[in-house]
């Protein structure tokens, strides 16, 4: 089973929850899909056993074969190609690697070269593993790195996906194949606004989902009322805990600071069907 941990905004405790749940599932694989700012590695005491480069195909134009007809320029919707001075210019930073330009070229003057855009790193913890996706600085192909990361999902056990925050195409890519998604929010006006966007996104995607309210005692009840009105299940409310905050600040997990939450987190896993528990 694949369980996605997402949020409408950053800073809600999404990674904190994802790591804590992974510690409760021996053999689990945690995928850090927040590829622009991955940080689950901060809470993993283990060795990196593998790193592989993620590349994207980029067009290369053969000037001898190119007739400067502009077919490739007209095809590209991302303005990665331009016709100037009778030559085709390639802007690698804008390319999405779809390969369409090489297909429409009538003289086959375009071939492709691999461009490094990121990396996947695998770290072994005591009983579970982390695969971190990381996008190279300045690149704009986060969904491609996320898709390559998702291909590393556990084939025999559970997978937890620590998703990018927000509701952009990065988050949609990360949750699309998940069996269940937990939306982590906080009991504030900002939390409610971004939660509503995330809920609408889940419904558009026709995904099963529920909510966990973090630092639930520091705000008001507007998120609870929203979930009741929208028939959204609240799996758990986690109050603010200085012990949890101190544990996170020291690179520990949520359960290191507050082990009394283990039973409640196991109940959340059971509610989502994780671990084969219906």
Within a domain: 201: yes
In a domain, residue 97? The reply is yes
- Is the same domain home to 174 and 64? no
Residue 54 has pLDDT above 90, yes or no: yes
73, 196: one domain: no
Q: What is the pLDDT of residues 10-50, one digit of tens each?
A: 889 999 999 999 999 999 999 999 999 999 999 998 889 99
- Give yes or no: residues 129 and 34 share one domain: yes
CA neighbor of 170 nearest in space, from 34, 64, 40, 24: 34
Range of the domain at 259: 2-46+125-276
- Mean predicted confidence (pLDDT) in 191-205: 96
Q: How many domains does one find in the chain?
A: 2
Q: Are residues 60 and 194 in the same domain?
A: no
Q: What is the pLDDT of residue 278?
A: 41
In a domain, 51, yes or no: no
What pTM did the predictor assign?
0.91
3-state SS track over 69-82: CCHHHHHCCCCCEE
Q: Is residue 7 part of a domain?
A: yes
Question: Is residue 157 a part of any domain in this protein?
Answer: yes
Q: Are 22 and 10 in contact (CB under 8 A)?
A: no
Co-location of 132 and 89 in the same domain: no
Are 42 and 76 within one domain? no
Asked whether residue 275 carries a pLDDT value surpassing 70, the answer given is: no
Residue 183 lies in a domain: yes
CATH number at residue 111: 3.30.70.20
Reading the block at residue 92, the tokens are: 């690698």
Task: Indicate whether 143 belongs to any domain.
Answer: yes
Structural domain contains residue 245: yes
Model confidence pLDDT, tens digit, residues 199-228: 999 999 999 999 999 999 998 999 999 999
2, 152 in Cβ contact below 8 A?
no
């Amino acid at each position: 089973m694949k369980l996605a941990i997402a949020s409408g905004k950053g800073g809600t405790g999404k990674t904190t929850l994802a790591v804590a749940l992974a510690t409760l599932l021996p053999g689990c694989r945690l995928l850090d899909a927040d590829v622009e700012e991955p940080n689950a590695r901060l809470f993993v005491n283990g060795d990196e056993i593998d790193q592989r480069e993620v590349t994207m195909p980029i067009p290369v134009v053969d000037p001898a074969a190119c007739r400067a007809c502009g077919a490739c320029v007209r095809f590209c919707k991302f303005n990665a190609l331009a016709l100037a001075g009778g030559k085709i210019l390639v802007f690698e930073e804008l390319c999405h690697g779809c390969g369409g330009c090489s297909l429409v070229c009538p003289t086959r003057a375009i071939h492709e070269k691999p461009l490094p855009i990121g990396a996947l790193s695998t770290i072994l913890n005591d009983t579970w593993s982390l695969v971190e996706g990381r996008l190279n600085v300045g690149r704009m192909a986060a969904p491609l790195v996320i898709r390559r990361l998702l291909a590393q999902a556990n084939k025999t056990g559970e997978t937890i996906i620590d998703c990018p925050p927000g509701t952009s195409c990065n988050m949609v890519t990360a949750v699309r194949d998940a069996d269940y998604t937990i939306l982590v929010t906080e009991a504030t006006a900002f939390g409610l606004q971004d939660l509503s966007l995330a809920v609408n996104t889940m419904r558009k995607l026709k995904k099963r989902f529920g909510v966990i309210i973090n630092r639930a005692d520091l705000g008001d009840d507007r998120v609870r009322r929203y979930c009741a009105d929208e028939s959204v299940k609240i799996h758990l409310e986690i109050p603010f805990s200085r012990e949890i905050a101190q544990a996170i600040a020291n690179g520990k997990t949520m359960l290191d600071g507050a082990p009394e939450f283990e039973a409640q987190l196991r109940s959340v896993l059971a509610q989502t069907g994780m671990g084969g528990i219906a």
